[in-house]
Amino acid sequence: MAKSKFEYVRNFETDDTCLRNCYIVVRLDGRNFHKFAEQHKFTKPNDDRALGLMTRSARSVMGDLEDIIIAYGQSDEFSFVFKRTSTLFKRRASKLMTHVASQFSSSYVFYWKDFFGEQPLLYPPGFDGRVVLYPTNRNLRDYLSWRQADCHINNLYNTVFWTLVQKGGLTTVQAEDRLKGTLAADKNEILFSEFDINYNNESALHKKGTTLIWEKRDETVTKRMKRPDGEEEDVPVTRSRRTVQDYHCDIIGEQFWEEHPDILEDGC
């Protein structure tokens, strides 16, 4: 069979290696998730089942690709950060982003039932992705801060909007009009004075999104060992295991990074 005759077409592939020594960020965004959320009756302004499923899918991606040092998600998006020295898939952008998109999407369907129970998934959802490189720790932290600031802004808006609709009896058009031109302080004030809601007391998950990092946890396991006298006995052994932990805290300020100094590498 004339295999070789056609094989020249391989040379049309182009190299898309990511610049060395930069953080590689893959961000996924849900496709048409407004419609998807409606069709699947997501509660407003936040659906904890949906957020839980996003986080579960992100854990699946992190478990699969250990070079991801931190992931951050909110609403229908999730960002995955590969360590700057990663050589996974030879740093090929296409491999990295398609693998993340694929693993996340198959996990989303796979774990759907764990979060939505008997409510059926109506059709397979889609996520699109992109790759962005950040050369310095400052740039990377600013990227994550940008996403968390976005989470805050959207959540404050959505919280007031849906409170006006659900508790205030406004139509969605009226709620939109009411919020036009308001600042954060105005929105806090509406919540507080009209609905007796202190935004600060709202769920951290909704206000801050979800941050996933690897952490070493000590585990005590029992191991059967031989004593000097030849007898065997059960001995408790402590060992360290890397697991993915989730946080719903501020990652814009210094505290989080001071408490987890191992996430970012010294870039020199």
What is the footprint of a second copy within residues 199-258 (CB under 8 A)? none
Closest listed residue to residue 207, CA positions, set 215, 197, 219, 216: 197
Tell me 249's DSSP state.
Answer: S
Nearest to a second copy of 137, 168 (CB atom) = 137
- Strand arrangement, sheet containing 77-82: 127-134, 23-30, 77-82, 68-74, 210-226, 232-247
154 binds a second copy (CB under 8 A): no
CA distance 5 to 139: 47
Nearest to a second copy of 1, 173 (CB atom) = 1
Question: Taking a C-beta distance cutoff of 8 angstroms, is the pair 111, 49 a contact?
Answer: no
Distances (CA, A) of 13 to 7, 68, 234: 12, 26, 58
Binders of a second copy among residues 5 to 34 (CB under 8 A) are: 5-17, 19-22, 28, 31
Residue among 47, 52, 88, 131 that touches a second copy (CB under 8 A): 131
| Least distance (Å) between residue 263 CB and a second copy | 16
The sign of the torsion formed by the CA atoms of 61, 64, 65, 66 equals positive
Nearest to a second copy of 16, 176 (CB atom) = 16
Nearest to a second copy of 13, 196 (CB atom) = 13
| Least distance (Å) between residue 180 CB and a second copy | 18
Site string for a second copy, 52-71 (x = CB under 8 A): --------x---x-------
Neighbouring CB atoms inside 10 A of 118's CB total: 5
Binders of a second copy among residues 71 to 100 (CB under 8 A) are: 84, 89, 93-95, 97-99
